Amino acid sequence: MQESPVAGQDVSCCTDLTSAPLSEERAVELATVFKALGDPIRLRLLSMIASRAGGEVCVCELTPAFDLSQPTISHHLKLLRQAGLIDCERRGTWVYYWLVPETTDKVAAVLTRPAEALT
């Protein structure tokens, strides 16, 4: 995973919704992540992965929790991965998934009001 250099960071990356209108570019970037979160199956998959104490979950442990085919689950996992919310690695027969907390932190920050606004 490559981090963008600090010097190249857009300051608007860190402002929340209540501070200033979002730029078109930033809105497109954030919408991709929110769209991936906008499905109950994907949210449950993400929470199963995110809440795993060891940090990693085998796809073989995710599938039995749903009344859905393996390809359907794989498709949802792919969308979560494309949005940068999870990452994975194949080891032998199985694929293992883990949370990318930088992405959830980023969208959480957009939705979090500054402390002084909480009354």
Q: Which residues contact a second copy (rule: CB under 8 A)?
A: 17-22, 24, 27-28, 30-32, 34-44, 46-48, 50-51, 65, 99, 101, 104-105, 107-108, 111-113, 117
Q: Quick one: 67 or 90, whose CB is closer to a second copy?
A: 67
In the three-class reduction of DSSP (H, G, I as helix; E, B as strand; rest coil), residue 91 is classed as strand
Shortest Å distance, C-beta 107 to a second copy: 6
Q: Closer to a second copy at the Cβ: 44 or 81?
A: 44
Long-range contacts of 29-35, Cβ-Cβ distance < 8 Å, separation of 24 or more: 30/107, 30/110, 32/82, 32/83, 33/83, 33/84, 33/85, 33/103, 33/106, 33/107, 34/107, 35/83
Nearer Cβ to a second copy, position 17 or 60?
17
Minimum gap (Å) between residue 33 Cβ and a second copy: 8
